[in-house]
Amino acid sequence: MQTQANMQQNTPYELIVVGGGPAGLAAANAAWQAGLRRVLIVERDRELGGILNQCIHNGFGLHRFGDQLTGPEYAERYENMVAETGVEVALDTMVLSVEPATAPALDVGEKPLHHVHLISQAEGYRVLATQTIVLAMGCRERTRGAIGIPGTRPAGVYTAGAAQRYINMEGYLVGKRAIILGSGDIGLIMARRMTLEGAKVAAVVELMPYSGGLSRNIVQCLDDFGIPLLLAHTIVDIRGHRRVEQVVVAEVGPDNKPVAGTEQTFDVDTVLLSVGLLPENELTRQANIPLDPRTRGAVVFEDMQTQVPGIFACGNVVQVHDLVDFVSQEAELAGAAAAAYVQSTDSTESISVVELTPGEGVSYVLPQRIRVRDGQTTSVSFRVRKPMGRSQICLSAGDTEIKTFRRQRMAPGEMEHVKLRGADLALYAGGTLRLSAQEMGE
Ligand SMILES: Cc1cc2nc3c(=O)[nH]c(=O)nc-3n(C[C@H](O)[C@H](O)[C@H](O)COP(=O)(O)OP(=O)(O)OC[C@H]3O[C@@H](n4cnc5c(N)ncnc54)[C@H](O)[C@@H]3O)c2cc1C
């Protein structure tokens, strides 16, 4: 690995990776292993590793390494792999925009060049040319403003991820008595973290009648510490002058509106918001790369290529993952595909495509487009809309059932995967297939 090296503005890269989190690291490493030799990772932070650096709990890497690692330990494994390569790394460097190629390649066998605009204190503003780009910018948290909680605006309201960074990286405990809105994984993990640091967590409040987090996190972060989970509840008022003093919580009805007369008041000094993550796609949007309104990430083919040839995307910027192991897997696919794109002389334009859309009970599917090749297996990720017991997942074309899969249980907080074989899709090339999920009853 070379840091801030060799960045000659006139020598095009084979691959520039935007973001040095687990997705960016795995993509760059895979591209190097597949034979690319001019690869650059651009990371705006002062270190590689992305969000993993602040996740000091364990539970990372079970699928990937068969080991229970902390976030920094997991990141370190990939940083070490990248360090063994000649991949260049630009830290403290922000990508300002991505400019897809507009002109065809000058020479036969060459690829048209995309441009990446970046800025850093050390090197100023630069524009680098590259044959491929992997977008791996991760995601960010929704903030209080995005969901509009009523009440005054005292200090003491944080997003759960910001609080996690303060506690785990800056050594600053954000409050002594907290309430957490949202039972996604970050909210659950922060309930345990605050408790371990000596704070009292009054409750985790969740609008939906079920938690948005992994089951293991509900057990290990709430049940083990006696922290109540108030399902179908929300915060209806935050009170306080300079600092949060009280929070009012009420039950919600089936229409998600607060039910009058069910209010409970908690004396707390801190509110943590864990109300969802949004893929960080400003660069993607500015580059006019088509986005899927359901995932809020780029529309991708089975190899994680976006709808702009030579630009790939992976990790949380494409779909919000709950397990980093699947981020690495997806990123390795993207990195290897970027290498194959650089090395290939054939166009994929003539290969037939099937479109994949979510049907009943499914909120999104990824990839949205599959190029049908014999002998190829595509792993499709999706999430269900509500918790389900014994259920059937069905791939269909109109009224024709193509393939079914069974599950004992599924929940929106846990990403699901099914594998589709090229042979099963070949008959439907050029058409649209639907993936749906239904509870089967006893
Ligand atoms: C609180 C929390 C707990 C978690 N717990 C677990 C767990 O127990 N087990 C598990 O397996 N997974 C867990 N995860 C999930 C896992 O950490 C994520 O899925 C994974 O880190 C996503 O990787 P990524 O590379 O896509 O994004 P990130 O890690 O967010 O990395 C994106 C990187 O891109 C950089 N970047 C963004 N924009 C630019 C730009 N314009 N220019 C340059 N750089 C840019 C960012 O600085 C960042 O470093 C947890 C996540 C969180 C937040």
β-sheet with 264-267: strand ranges across: 233-240, 244-251, 264-267
Which tokens in the block code for residue 3?
A: 């840091």
List the residue whose alpha carbon is closest to atom 48 of ligand 1. 50
pLDDT of 9 reads 53
184 lines ligand 1 (CB under 6 A): no
Query: Phi and psi for 283 in degrees, rounded to 5?
Result: -65, -40
CA distance 193 to 187: 10
pLDDT of 301 reads 98
The rounded mean pLDDT for the chain is: 93
19 lines ligand 1 (CB under 6 A): yes
Are the C-beta atoms of 191 and 222 separated by less than 8 Å? yes
Tell me the whole-structure pTM to 2 decimals: 0.93
CA distance 338 to 73: 27
328 lines ligand 1 (CB under 6 A): no
pLDDT in tens, 388-419: 999 999 999 999 999 999 999 999 989 999 99
pLDDT of 375 reads 87
pLDDT of 1 reads 64
Closest listed residue to residue 160, CA positions, set 137, 181, 138, 139: 181
pLDDT of 146 reads 67
45 lines ligand 1 (CB under 6 A): yes
Q: How far is the CA of 329 from the centre of ligand 1 (A)?
A: 14
Question: Three-state SS across the chain?
Answer: CEECCCCCCCCCEEEEEECCCHHHHHHHHHHHHCCCCCEEEECCCCCCCHHHHHCCCEEECHHHHCCCEEHHHHHHHHHHHHHCCCCEEECCEEEEEEECCCCCCCCCCCCCCEEEEEEECCCEEEEEEEEEEEECCCEEECCHHHHCCCECCCECEEEHHHHHHHHHHHCCCCCCEEEEECCCHHHHHHHHHHHHCCCEEEEEEECCCCCCCCHHHHHHHHHHHCCCEEECEEEEEEEECCEEEEEEEEEECCCCCECCCCCEEEECCEEEECCCEEECCHHHHHCCCCECCCCCCECCCCCCECCCCCEEECHHHCCCCCCHHHHHHHHHHHHHHHHHHHHCCCCCCCCCEEEEEECCCEEEEECCEEECCCCCEEEEEEEECCCECCEEEEEEECCEEEEEEEECCECCCCCEEEEEEHHHHHHHCCCEEEEEEEECCC
- Cis link prior to 254 (omega < 30° from 0)? no
pLDDT of 84 reads 98
Cβ neighbors of 165 (< 8 A, separation 6 or more) are: 54
pLDDT of 152 reads 79
pLDDT of 110 reads 78
CA distance 371 to 422: 9
Q: How far is the CA of 140 from the centre of ligand 1 (A)?
A: 9
316 lines ligand 1 (CB under 6 A): yes
Please say if the pLDDT value at position 6 is more than 60: no
Q: How far is the CA of 53 from the centre of ligand 1 (A)?
A: 9
Between 384 and 10, residue with greater pLDDT? 384
Please say if the pLDDT value at position 5 is more than 50: no
Region of 138 please: left (phi>0), alpha (psi -120 to 50) or beta: left
Span between the terminal Cα atoms of the chain, in Å: 56
Closest listed residue to residue 247, CA positions, set 267, 227, 273, 272: 267
AA letter at 61 = G
Q: How far is the CA of 252 from the centre of ligand 1 (A)?
A: 32
* CA–centroid distance for 435 within its chain: 21
pLDDT in tens, 118-147: 999 999 999 999 999 999 999 999 887 767
318 lines ligand 1 (CB under 6 A): no
Which tokens in the block code for residue 423?
A: 């042979």
